[in-house]
Amino acid sequence: MRRISLGQVIPEGLAFILDISPVAHRVIMCHLEGCEEDTPAWYHTFQILFFSVSAYFFSCPVPEKYFPASCNIVGHAHQIFHTFPAICTLSQLEAIFMITRRSRIFSPRGTGLIQSFCPVAPFFGLVACSAGTASHLQCARSRWSWLQKNSERLP
């Protein structure tokens, strides 16, 4: 079982409070006023939710506890922890994009396929690279176990 020290959890919690306090104030005030039409507030709500879920997986080794030895390469709590802040950042960027699109200060962006895909392309690239790395490590692990089993037969 993995132990998390207070030196890791306290700075993470303080950074969360410092970063999220203006967003939390906006979300609370918006929901108190009954703003169902304000879509960026909902994206900010998801941002807070995803960050809270990532904090849970940061402090609790949930998959490894219930499925020992099957989450060594894929499905580890630390991998899940890193996935949720990425989704949190995506929802934050979408909310900011919606707010700037509404503002008259910024010039309107194009609505073509390239302009819509460019902000999320790095995320899909990250997912593809992570899947490729996990697949490579799984193959290397199976080759290593095969070599250990058959090392007596090799010359």
Which residue ranges are tagged as binding site for Zn(2+)?
78, 82
Tokens of 4: 């998390």
Phi, psi of 109 (to 5 degrees): -90, 160
Residue closest to 121 by CA, chosen among 152, 90, 82: 90
Gyration radius of the chain's alpha carbons: 21
Residue closest to 59 by CA, chosen among 6, 96, 110: 6
HSE, CB side, 13 Å, CA atoms: give it for residue 27. Answer: 17
Residue positions in the annotated binding site? 78, 82
DSSP character at residue 76: -
Residue closest to 47 by CA, chosen among 70, 26, 76: 26
Tokens of 153: 């037969």
